[in-house]
Amino acid sequence: MPTVITDDLFVPAPIDPSIHEEITKPPVTFWKEAWMRLLRNKGSVISLVVLLIIALLAIFGPSFNEYTYKQQNIAHRNLPPKISGLEWLGLNGKDVHGVDQYEKRNITTNYWFGTDEFGRDIWTRVWKGTQISLFIALVAALLDLCIGVLYGGISAFYGGKVDNVMQRIIEVLVGIPNLIIIILFILILEPGITSIILAMVITGWVGMARVVRGQILQLKSQEFVLASRTLGASNRRLIGKHLLPNVMGPIIVTLMFTIPTAIFFEAFLSFIGLGLQAPLASLGVLIDDGYKAMRFFTYKLIFPSIVISAVMICFNLLGDGLRDALDPKMRK
């Protein structure tokens, strides 16, 4: 027989009037959830730790010993790592023929990475070069944030003729090779950090502007933007409170890939002789010096190559991890 369902089979559940709502978990914001997803990515966490260590060594490494990045000691030139140097200390009288005699003493040095052809400490020069390379990368990131985000946001938000004119300007800038710009600035100024930064000011932010424009074009026709317009929100509020916060994920990911690109750009220019000049040190300058002496003094190339490879790999792994962490489709 089929079961007959009657009202007396249902019993009201006991309800505590003092408890209206129960939340089993604390509320999790988008950024907190993204951070938790990033921490589950072992490659990104290891990359972040390695980058922090390299940044600390770049700041404090040159002060770990008594040598500066441009201090020369010809008596200690081309010393391999942790090899004692033979140093002439001063006059020690004359011999029977009246020739000046110098006292020499075999001393243990602190040349942890060895010395170059001018007797300069490679340890200090490597971390000073890392400091300069990271500074150029930081400038590139700031240009992306200050110029690229603003330019791309204004172009996409206002659209129409404004967007058309601004995009034509970007197309002109994209058509100019960075190397040509660098050469023009070298003719006006001189090879160095200033020429590289000015070249990045002209064309370095174009990629970020395009990314931001594409994201805002996709967002500005959605319902929450239309609702804000209906409630009378100003253009400044729409951009600052609604559109830009929603494109911060792609902006951060693009920054993580901009930084190693800027480091490689500076290293390439220094390697071909258009970047920093002696006695300044950058990773590109050190790799160029090591490449010239690679056959007999391999250590000069190994140490800066390890540092720049670690920086490039870590930033790329961190960028991949941030892209996955900030992607809403990756939510479980």
By three-state DSSP, how is residue 237 classified?
helix
Q: 330 pLDDT exceeds 90? A: no
Q: Note the pLDDT tens digit of each residue in 254-278.
A: 888 888 888 888 888 877 777 777 7
H helix runs in the chain, sequence order? 30-39, 42-60, 122-143, 149-158, 160-174, 178-188, 193-203, 206-219, 223-230, 235-237, 244-246, 248-271, 283-292, 299-325
Q: Which two tokens stand for residue 177?
A: 């090779």
Binned at pLDDT 50, 70 and 90, residue 87 comes out as low
Q: For position 52, what pLDDT does the model report?
A: 93
Q: For position 46, what pLDDT does the model report?
A: 92
Q: Note the pLDDT tens digit of each residue in 157-212.
A: 888 888 899 888 888 888 877 778 877 877 787 777 887 888 888 878 888 888 88
Q: 217 pLDDT exceeds 80? A: yes
pTM: 0.74
Q: Note the pLDDT tens digit of each residue in 8-58.
A: 777 776 666 665 555 556 666 767 777 888 888 888 899 999 999 999 999
Which own/partner contact pairs does 326-330 have at CB distance under 8 Å and 24+ positions apart? 326/34, 326/249, 326/250, 326/252, 326/253, 327/249, 330/37
Q: 226 pLDDT exceeds 70? A: yes
Q: For position 13, what pLDDT does the model report?
A: 67
Q: For position 23, what pLDDT does the model report?
A: 52
Q: Which two tokens stand for residue 266?
A: 């500076």
- CA 289 to CA 301: how far, in whole Å? 8
Q: For position 49, what pLDDT does the model report?
A: 93
Q: Tokens 């999790």 map to which residue?
A: 28
Tell the burial category of 47 from Cβ atoms under 10 Å away from its Cβ (0-12, 13-18, 19+).
buried
Domains of the chain (ranges, CATH numbers): 30-73+118-330 (1.10.3720.10)
Average pLDDT over residues 304-311: 90
Q: Which two tokens stand for residue 267?
A: 């290293």
Binned at pLDDT 50, 70 and 90, residue 88 comes out as very low
By three-state DSSP, how is residue 21 classified?
coil
Binned at pLDDT 50, 70 and 90, residue 1 comes out as low
- CA 121 to CA 76: how far, in whole Å? 9
Report the b/e string of 161-197 with b at 16+ CB within 10 A. Answer: eebeebbeebeeeeeeebeebbeebbeeeebbbebbb
By three-state DSSP, how is residue 273 classified?
coil
Task: Please name the residues in contact with 39: beta carbons below 8 A apart, sequence gap of 6 or more.
Answer: 45
Q: For position 331, what pLDDT does the model report?
A: 56
Average pLDDT, the chain: 78
Binned at pLDDT 50, 70 and 90, residue 96 comes out as very low
Average pLDDT over residues 278-301: 83
